[in-house]
């Protein structure tokens, strides 16, 4: 069933005439004819959960905004920087009006009169598409003062970022949108109460907002019949890595993961096996080949101690050492840590150094233990969850691939010895010294 991706490659879909010809902006008309509370009811009834990563119920989030006359804001999170994720890109590029329509409806339900789409700066083409579509929508009176004579007004600005993963975190995004460094803020206060410019703010992912017109068209109850109970509807899944047909697929939530990885994306190349896979972007704990039959939905993935996250499946086959995967992941988070809080800033840096040492044959036997404990020390102790986003997958790799890490370590040591031509005995002494040094070093 295709809802968001229905005939997504239809020529000209990015323009208003084509979008309108297939019923575009009818949902907006329908919504504006209802009181905002009724629109909110539909959203709540749909069971739609946020598609950006945290999976929070969209309708509930809208209902958290205070009522009454005040400046309220709606911000669309189009930063899409979670490694492996590229679904919002395809939507914005090919069907920008769907996002704009959903955003207007959501702003109506939330009582917000100013809105922004924060799009990552690298998405030049997509931002241009949005700007062009926004221009059309404005001309047509869908955006601006007194939309379709409903009394609801909305301004919309497409705001381009400049390259920082942390600006996808909602409060980092708000600071960035205010023209600051994109450091996350302390919560509470939550954006629903004090967000952009200190005003109540609703933040939703592109896909979440783009689903809203569909919900209005079908009715919340009908939409809720799709998928499974706790994960309703369809979901765009970005599949990448070692698969034969990488790309975006729209699936009904709750189908077996294997069906996505093998059925849709074609599975790993001929002769290769799945070694591990990230079900929800590089921040999600890895799952193994044994876990391919887990239903692809929020709760089922949580039950196997991972998460659906942004809906980005990265498949790693047996040709790649787990250490390379861990190192790539850790380096990414080290590079993207904003540096504001200690465990994340120092912990990501330290983890990279330990992994590098394992790879170069300089690891001490304690290093895996230390690395696991460092991940524990990061998790739950940071200001935002970027730190956890490294610690969770790395932890899962240490647990699930401990033997491979150990073998890698030993092989690397042997290689290093051979390279240096040092006698084993001398080295053992040096290693012992370094282990001792590690314990005594204060």
> Which residues between 64 and 103 bind ligand FMN (CB under 6 A)?
77, 79-82
CB of 160 to ligand FMN, least distance (A): 14
Q: What is the token pair recorded at 170?
A: 């909602």
Q: What distances in angstroms separate CA 382 from CA 192, 347, 375, one per listed residue?
A: 21, 10, 11
Site string for ligand FMN, 386-415 (x = CB under 6 A): x--x--------------------------
65: left (phi over 0), alpha (psi -120 to 50) or beta: beta
Stretch that binds ligand SF4, among 204-212, 225-233, 384-392, 431-439 (CB under 6 A): 384-392
Partner in contact with 441, chosen from ligand FMN, another protein, ligand SF4, none, beta carbon below 5 to 8 Å by kind: another protein
Count residues near ligand SF4 (CB under 6 A).
14
Site string for ligand FMN, 264-303 (x = CB under 6 A): ----------------------------------------
CB nearer to ligand FMN: pick between 274 and 314: 314
Torsion angle defined by CA atoms of residues 29, 34, 35 and 36, in that order, rounded to the nearest 10 degrees: -50
Partner in contact with 245, chosen from another protein, ligand SF4, ligand FMN, none, beta carbon below 5 to 8 Å by kind: another protein
CB of 350 to ligand SF4, least distance (A): 13
| Binding flag, residue 375, ligand SF4 (CB under 6 A) | no
CB of 378 to ligand SF4, least distance (A): 8
* Sequence-ordered alpha helix ranges (H) in 367-423: 367-378, 386-400, 402-420
Which burial class, exposed, middle or buried, applies to 335 when counting CB atoms under 10 A from its CB (0-12, 13-18, 19+)? exposed
| Binding flag, residue 345, ligand SF4 (CB under 6 A) | yes
| Binding flag, residue 56, another protein (CB under 8 A) | no
Q: What angle do CA 181, 187, 191 make, to 5 degrees?
A: 75
CA separation for the pair 110, 56 (Å, rounded) = 16
CB of 388 to ligand FMN, least distance (A): 8
Q: Which of 386, 394, 397, 409 binds ligand SF4 (CB under 6 A)?
A: 386
CB of 333 to ligand SF4, least distance (A): 8
CA separation for the pair 98, 20 (Å, rounded) = 10
Question: In which residue are the tokens 């769907």 written?
Answer: 98
170: left (phi over 0), alpha (psi -120 to 50) or beta: alpha
Q: Which of 52, 84, 285, 321 binds ligand FMN (CB under 6 A)?
A: 52
CB of 325 to ligand FMN, least distance (A): 19
HSE of 212, CA atoms in CB hemisphere, 13 A: 36
CB of 270 to ligand FMN, least distance (A): 34
Peptide bond into 189 cis (omega under 30): yes
Partner in contact with 53, chosen from ligand FMN, another protein, ligand SF4, none, beta carbon below 5 to 8 Å by kind: ligand FMN
Q: Which of 34, 54, 416, 427 binds ligand FMN (CB under 6 A)?
A: 54
Partner in contact with 204, chosen from ligand SF4, another protein, ligand FMN, none, beta carbon below 5 to 8 Å by kind: ligand FMN
Residue 391 backbone phi and psi in degrees, to 5:
-65, -35
* Sequence-ordered alpha helix ranges (H) in 269-385: 298-303, 322-336, 342-360, 367-378
Question: In which residue are the tokens 């730190």 written?
Answer: 387
CA separation for the pair 91, 74 (Å, rounded) = 19
Q: What distances in angstroms separate CA 2 from CA 7, 39, 84, 243, one per listed residue?
A: 8, 23, 22, 22
Stretch that binds another protein, among 20-28, 43-51, 152-160, 298-306 (CB under 8 A): 152-160
Q: Which helix (H) or strand (E) holds 78?
A: strand 73-78
User: 143 with 104: CB under 8 angstroms?
Assistant: yes
Binding site for ligand FMN (CB under 6 A): 50-54, 56, 77, 79-82, 166, 168-170, 203-205, 208, 384-386, 389
Binding site for ligand SF4 (CB under 6 A): 166, 184, 337-341, 344-345, 382-384, 386-387
């Amino acid at each position: 069933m295709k809802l968001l991706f229905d005939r997504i490659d239809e020529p000209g879909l990015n323009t208003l005439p084509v979008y309108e010809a297939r019923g575009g902006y009818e949902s907006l008309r329908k919504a504006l004819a209802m009181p905002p509370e009724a629109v909110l009811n539909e959203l709540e009834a749909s069971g739609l959960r946020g598609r950006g990563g945290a999976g929070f119920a969209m309708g509930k989030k809208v209902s958290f905004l205070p009522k009454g006359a005040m400046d309220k804001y709606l911000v669309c999170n189009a930063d899409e920087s979670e490694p492996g994720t590229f679904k919002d890109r395809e939507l914005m590029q090919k069907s920008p009006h769907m996002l704009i329509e959903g955003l207007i409806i959501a702003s109506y339900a939330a009582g917000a009169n100013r809105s922004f789409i924060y799009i990552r700066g690298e998405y030049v083409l997509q931002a241009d598409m949005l700007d062009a579509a926004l221009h059309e929508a404005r001309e047509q009176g869908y955006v601006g003062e007194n939309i379709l004579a409903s009394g609801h007004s909305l301004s919309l600005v497409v705001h381009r970022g400049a390259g920082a993963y942390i600006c996808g975190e909602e409060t980092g995004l708000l600071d960035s949108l205010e023209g600051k460094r994109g450091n996350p803020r302390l919560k509470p206060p939550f954006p629903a109460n004090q967000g952009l410019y200190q005003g109540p703010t609703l933040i939703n992912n592109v896909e979440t907002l783009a689903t809203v017109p569909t919900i209005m068209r079908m009715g919340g109850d009908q939409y809720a019949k799709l998928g499974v109970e706790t994960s309703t509807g369809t979901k765009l899944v970005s599949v990448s890595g070692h698969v034969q047909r990488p790309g975006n697929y729209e699936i009904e939530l709750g189908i077996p993961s294997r069906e996505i990885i093998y059925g849709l994306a074609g599975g790993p190349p001929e002769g290769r096996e799945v070694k591990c896979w990230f079900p929800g972007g590089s921040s999600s704990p890895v799952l193994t080949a044994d876990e391919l039959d887990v239903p692809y939905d929020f709760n089922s993935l949580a039950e196997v101690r991972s998460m659906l996250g942004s809906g980005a499946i990265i498949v790693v086959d047996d040709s790649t050492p787990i250490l390379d995967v861990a190192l790539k992941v850790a380096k990414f988070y080290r590079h993207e840590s904003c540096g504001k809080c200690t465990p994340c800033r120092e912990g990501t840096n330290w983890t990279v150094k330990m992994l590098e040492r394992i790879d170069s044959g300089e690891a001490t036997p304690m290093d895996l233990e230390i690395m696991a404990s460092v991940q524990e020390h990061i998790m739950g102790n940071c200001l935002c969850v970027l730190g956890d986003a490294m610690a969770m997958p790395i932890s899962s790799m240490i647990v699930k691939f401990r033997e491979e890490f150990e073998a890698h370590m030993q092989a690397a040591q042997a290689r290093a010895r051979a390279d240096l031509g040092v006698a084993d005995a001398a080295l053992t002494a040096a290693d012992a010294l370094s282990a001792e040094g590690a314990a005594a070093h204060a």
